[in-house]
């Protein structure tokens, strides 16, 4: 069936869009849309060209793996084309690729190599007689850019090989680690802070490590590249002469490792597609634990002879595929910037967005952190913005796409008054980045304090969420958290709650009366007081009244508390409003002395233990509790103060790497049990 005029027009439009965004991404390192949105354009055009082969031009854009090189660097013709990979966006597409591989080889089982898909810039390194002679970007797959001088500044890339093959071309991915990116980004933000303070316009801030890394590699001045702390993982051989004969891909990686090339430690050899799926699922879940950004997994047939039999399409090898993870970055319209007021009066700007799916969930709001962040990022209502959501992290507006900014755009100004009905003045204290509403009667602060009190991290009153709080506070039933315990079924029914919901709420409220002193202290929302310090206070003083009566010096003397928290606790209990709340809680039957008594030997006093991975005899919380019960600290990150890293199944790679770098002992579960008993390492 011939294509309609609408389909023809759409195909032409898609080709123009793909060509434009290819240039923005590969040529300028300044994309206007996210990778996921670009992939959607490509997939739509591929569907049209598949359904209507008569519309396929002699050279389809889909057959070009990159973009033409820029004129900034000298051209390099690749002796072997640097092809890109076909993508699998879900399990079905991966399974379909696996079936094609099996049929192409006429075998039932295939051995695969799984590699993390690094979000960086593809690079070719050429060595002749052992000497590093040239580095080139992929470009359009046939011709790239000569970036040799810049690549020489990257630590970890060997400059001389021994033994020295006649010719060795190594392909890999140059990337900027999360740490290096944050360092660069913070430098740019600080520079913008100074510019804003001086009345100057802020400069663009790098949005993500990929763009920052690619831009750093393609600097005209290699000295600038040298300051950007770029890294590289080698993953493939190109043209070779005088190297050993290999039968498998993983053997080539081991060969490169012996020559001194950095090989990603997470490469895995698997014997089935089911194991490939499991590998992909693991890293999709744990991707944010890595010190660099990945956006998927690359799957390759391991047997090199089988690769030869499978061959290539015009664009990509048939023996490899890129499994793409759900995108953690998207672009969308920033409809408006508003301000929310937290329980401490902190005014936090947030973005109202055109809804967009990021990391598997629909995002319509995102944080902008504080007044300075809005200024230095220079985001404005009406902008197209980059939105990022990594795992369970709150969605964040990374920055604007300046090329799409409306011509009549004006900088956003932070409001001077609270959005509540009282319209109190917002104040920014000298030396603080936060702006606050300092009106004690602010209804926004009241509601957020109650929400915090009833939340899982507080008294954990099931069913007492935001909607319930707003409904009861708007009706004048709740003025503070103390009023929760004077609620009756009659009051709830009168406010429109059903009989079943009322019964459940009353049961949850009653159950919270026996919450531990630690949870009660956290629920009160005392500034700076978190779960760890609250637990220390609970164990030392035994009751809320004793904590309230303690002096600042007595509080500060407790390990894990210190002056700042001690002064905050003393100040909170000296406030007349807060003492009234405590009395309401007392009258409402809330226990002030529910402290868990621990008889475990104090074998880990002064020791910080980090647990990573899954232990067979302990859940994560059980392991942390076992450490704390023995006087130790259970930290979430490895540092120079860490006494030991307990390593279970499927540990976090970044924690293990950090432990190796710092010389922190790594122990298994059996040694962990012995450590709990004796305080000593095996």
Residues with a catalytic annotation lie at: 117
**Nearest to 324, CA basis, from 34, 56, 109, 569:** 34
Query: Residue 34: which residues within 8 A CB-CB, separation 6 or more?
Result: 327, 329, 330, 331, 386
The angle at the Cα of 440, spanning 439 to 446, to the nearest 5 degrees, equals: 115
Query: Residue 251: which residues within 8 A CB-CB, separation 6 or more?
Result: none
Give me the sign of the Cα torsion angle 425, 429, 434, 436.
negative
- Cβ-contact 328, 390 below 8 angstroms: yes
Query: Residue 89: which residues within 8 A CB-CB, separation 6 or more?
Result: 39, 43, 324
The rounded distance, in Å, linking the Cα atoms of 630 and 587 is: 35
DSSP-derived secondary structure for 511-577: HHTT--HHHHHHHTT-TT--HHHHHHHHHHH-SHHHHHHS-HHHHHTSTTTHHHHHHHHHHHHHSHH
284 to each of 90, 295, 650, 671, how far by Cα in Å?
Answer: 12, 8, 13, 30
- Cβ-contact 390, 369 below 8 angstroms: no
Q: State both tokens at 431.
A: 């030396």
Query: Residue 141: which residues within 8 A CB-CB, separation 6 or more?
Result: 64, 65, 66, 78, 81, 82, 83, 84, 315
**Nearest to 178, CA basis, from 148, 210, 204, 155:** 210
Q: Is the link from the previous residue into 304 a cis peptide, with omega within 30 of 0?
A: no
Q: Which residues pair with 493 in a beta bridge?
A: none
Distance of CA 566 to the CA centre of its chain: 33
Q: State both tokens at 343.
A: 């329980």
DSSP-derived secondary structure for 212-268: HHHHHHT-SSHHHHHTT-EEEEEEEEEEEESPPP-SBHHHHHHHHHHTT----TT-E
**Nearest to 65, CA basis, from 34, 86, 89, 51:** 86
By CB atoms closer than 10 A (0-12, 13-18, 19+), residue 416 is exposed
The rounded distance, in Å, linking the Cα atoms of 268 and 88 is: 19
């Amino acid at each position: 069936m011939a294509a309609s005029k609408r389909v023809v027009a759409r195909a032409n439009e898609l080709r123009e869009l793909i060509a434009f965004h290819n240039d923005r991404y590969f040529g300028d390192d300044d994309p206007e849309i996210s990778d996921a949105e670009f992939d959607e354009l490509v997939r739509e055009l591929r569907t049209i060209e598949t359904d209507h082969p008569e519309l396929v031009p002699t050279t389809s854009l889909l057959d070009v793996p990159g973009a033409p090189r820029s004129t900034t660097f000298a051209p390099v013709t690749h002796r072997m084309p640097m092809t890109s990979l076909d993508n699998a966006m879900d399990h079905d597409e991966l399974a379909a690729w696996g079936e094609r591989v099996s049929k192409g080889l006429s075998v039932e089982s295939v051995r695969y190599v799984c590699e993390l898909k690094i979000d960086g810039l593809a690079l070719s390194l050429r060595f002749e007689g052992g000497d590093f002679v040239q580095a080139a970007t992929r470009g359009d797959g046939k011709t790239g850019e000569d970036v040799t001088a810049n690549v020489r500044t990257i630590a970890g890339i060997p400059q001389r090989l021994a033994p020295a093959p006649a010719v060795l071309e190594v392909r890999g991915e140059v990337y900027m680690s999360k740490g290096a990116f944050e360092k660069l980004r913070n430098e740019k933000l600080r520079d913008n802070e100074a510019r804003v303070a001086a009345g100057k316009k802020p400069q663009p801030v790098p949005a993500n490590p990929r763009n920052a890394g690619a831009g750093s590699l393609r600097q005209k001045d290699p000295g600038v590249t040298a300051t950007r702390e770029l890294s590289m993982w080698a993953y493939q051989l190109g043209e070779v002469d005088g190297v050993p004969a290999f039968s498998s891909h993983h053997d080539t990686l081991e060969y490169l490792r012996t020559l001194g090339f950095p090989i990603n430690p997470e490469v895995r050899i698997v014997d089935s597609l089911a194991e490939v799926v499991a590998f992909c699922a693991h890293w999709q879940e744990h991707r944010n634990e890595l010190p660099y950004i990945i956006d998927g997994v690359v799957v390759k047939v391991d047997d090199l002879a089988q690769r030869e039999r499978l061959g290539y399409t015009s664009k990509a090898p048939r023996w490899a595929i890129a499994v793409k993870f759900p995108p953690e970055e998207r672009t969308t319209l920033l409809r408006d910037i508003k301000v929310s007021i937290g329980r401490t009066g902190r005014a936090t700007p947030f973005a109202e967005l055109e809804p967009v799916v990021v990391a598997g969930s629909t995002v319509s709001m995102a944080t902008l952190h504080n007044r300075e962040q809005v200024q230095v990022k220079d985001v404005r209502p009406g902008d197209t913005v980059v939105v990022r959501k990594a795992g369970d992290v709150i969605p964040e507006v990374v920055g604007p796409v300046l090329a799409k900014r409306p011509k009549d755009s004006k900088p956003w100004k932070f409001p001077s008054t609270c959005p509540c009905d009282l319209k109190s003045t917002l104040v920014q204290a000298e030396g603080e980045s936060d702006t606050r509403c300092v009106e004690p009667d602010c209804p926004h602060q009241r509601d957020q304090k109650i929400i915090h009190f009833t939340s899982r991290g507080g008294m954990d009153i099931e069913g007492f969420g935001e909607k319930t709080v707003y409904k009861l506070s708007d009706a004048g039933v709740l003025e503070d958290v103390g009023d929760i315990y004077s609620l009756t079924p009659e009051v709830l029914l009168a406010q429109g709650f059903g009989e079943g919901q009322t019964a459940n709420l009353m049961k949850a409220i009653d159950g919270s009366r026996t919450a531990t002193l630690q949870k009660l202290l956290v629920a009160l929302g005392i500034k700076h007081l978190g779960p760890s310090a609250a637990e220390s206070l609970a164990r030392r003083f035994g009751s809320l009244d004793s904590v309230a009566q303690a002096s600042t010096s007595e509080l500060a003397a407790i390990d894990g508390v210190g002056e700042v928290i001690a002064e905050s606790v003393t100040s909170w209990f000296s406030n007349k409003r807060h003492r009234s709340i405590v009395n309401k809680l007392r009258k409402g039957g809330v226990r002030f002395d529910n402290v868990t008594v621990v008889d475990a030997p104090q074998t880990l006093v002064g020791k910080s233990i980090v647990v990573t991975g899954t232990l067979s005899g302990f859940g994560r919380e059980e392991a942390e509790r076992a450490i704390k019960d023995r006087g130790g600290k259970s930290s979430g990150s490895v540092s120079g103060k860490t006494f030991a890293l307990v390593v279970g199944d499927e540990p976090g790679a970044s924690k293990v790497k950090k432990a190796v770098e710092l010389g922190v002992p790594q122990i298994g579960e059996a040694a962990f049990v012995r450590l709990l008993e004796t305080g000593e390492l095996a």
